Structure 1
Amino acid sequence: MNGLSNAYIRPLIICSPNMSLSKSHKSSLVIEVWNWNNGYLANHMRIMTSSFERPNPKAFRVEAKVSGHYVNSILACQEAKDKGFDEALLLDADGYVAESSGANVFFEKNSRLYTPPAGSILPGITRATVFEICERLGIYYEEKLFKPEEMRGADAGFFCGTAAEIVALESLDEISFRMNWEDSLSALVQKAYRHLVSEEDYTYLKSQLQCAN
């Protein structure tokens, strides 16, 4: 109806306005679509550990996709860009890696993928899709707590999210990831995801994985 064959789709639940900070009795559903020139798809992002923490899960419902949470994201992202980086990596209150300003994060080491567990992150739809891809291709993945020191200098890393899709990381805090991206398992996951969203079969990539092993 909007004449868009390829677009970003954003559903929003809007509560009825009030100044009393009380629970709303009505809500409305709005679905917006627009052309999306995804800057994330440039790939090979240089990221930095932000001085801003992910909001405390005891203070917010961090597992919910709430517009107000993105004030924290804006602060972290702008700090990174002001310092010459492409994006920020936020830690939780205990110093463990949480997520970027607007996407979940994975890193690859010794042919295994690692990502932070639920608790201080938004457990995104694309993150769940990465799990599904890994299971179908036979790629080991693990949810675990880790510090940025463990992620720096790993084999590869990527962000994933509805807007980001799957985007390769070049470095964290000026320390490059070791592998050529195209040779990594993470690149196979990225390729599989692009097939999946285009409703194309990606199981043939399993043979590439077996050859790599």
Structure 2
Amino acid sequence: MALSKGQKSYLVIEVWNWDNGYLANKMRIMTSSFQRPNPKAFKVEAKVSGHYVNSILACQEAKDKGFDEALVLDENGNVAESSGANVFFEKDGKLFTPAKGNILPGITRATVFQICEELGIPTEEKFFKPEEMQGADAGFFCGTAAEIVALDSLDNIAFTLDWESSLSSKVQQAYRHLVLEEDYSYLKTQPQYV
């Protein structure tokens, strides 16, 4: 054992049933006091097991305070992601998600962009504070474990649209169809806002 670079790499693949809280909808989330690791200290775009210590601390803090999950900020106070998933919020007919730099740009996140392009739902990557997300029309987490899970509120401020009438819900439905190799073109939206 050493702190130097290893000479060999090994691959292990494990499979098991997973029934976790992410599979439920309408999560109550809170802004965590824990920050996402600084990208100058870690390779934050890598899915590395050591990063999950930070995630566990943030998630446990949220659960200890009666929430379902944490929203983690970067070192500049911008929204980064949850303790284990990417985040989107919906406002005025458009989906917003944190820009790359302090996030793990996940495969499910990329799939959400693909779905939005196919359904005609505008998206934007940008840096934003949690206050901009609070009280938005809708929000969701997305990731391998989360798939796409609706958010109920952020810091006890509810999202304003009924989930079923949101564009975010259409993305969730399309994702479920996509993973089952089913057609979801019927969900294509007409522009709602000009």
TM-score of the pair, normalised by structure 1: 0.89
Aligned position for 2:72: 90
Aligned to 1:112: 94
Counterparts of 1:42-191 in structure 2, within 5 Å, are 42-191=24-173
Deviation of residue 40 (structure 1)?
1.2
User: 1:32-66 CA distances to partner (integer Å, 9 max, x unpaired)?
Assistant: 11012142121000000000000000000000000
Match of 2:190 in 1: 210
- Partner Cα distance (2:132, 2:183) in 1: 34
The percent of aligned pairs where both chains have the same amino acid is: 78
Q: Aligned-pair RMSD on alpha carbons?
A: 1.1
- Which structure would you say has the larger Rg? 1
> Once superposed, which parts of structure 1, at least 4 consecutive aligned residues long, lie more than 4 Å away?
none
Aligned-partner Cα distance in 2 for 1:165–1:67: 20
Which blocks of at least 5 consecutive residues in structure 2 are unaligned?
none
Q: Are 1:36 and 2:18 counterparts?
A: yes
Unmatched segments (≥5 aa) in structure 1: 1-17
Amino acid aligned to 1:100: S
C-alpha distance in 2 between matches for 1:25 and 1:211: 54
Give the superposition deviation at 1:210.
2.5
What is the CA–CA distance in structure 2 between the aligned matches of 1:163 and 1:130, rounded to whole Å? 15
Cα distance change on mapping 1:193 and 1:56 into 2, 3 Å: same
> Shift in Å at residue 212 of structure 1?
6.3
What residue is the counterpart of 2:4 in the other structure? 22
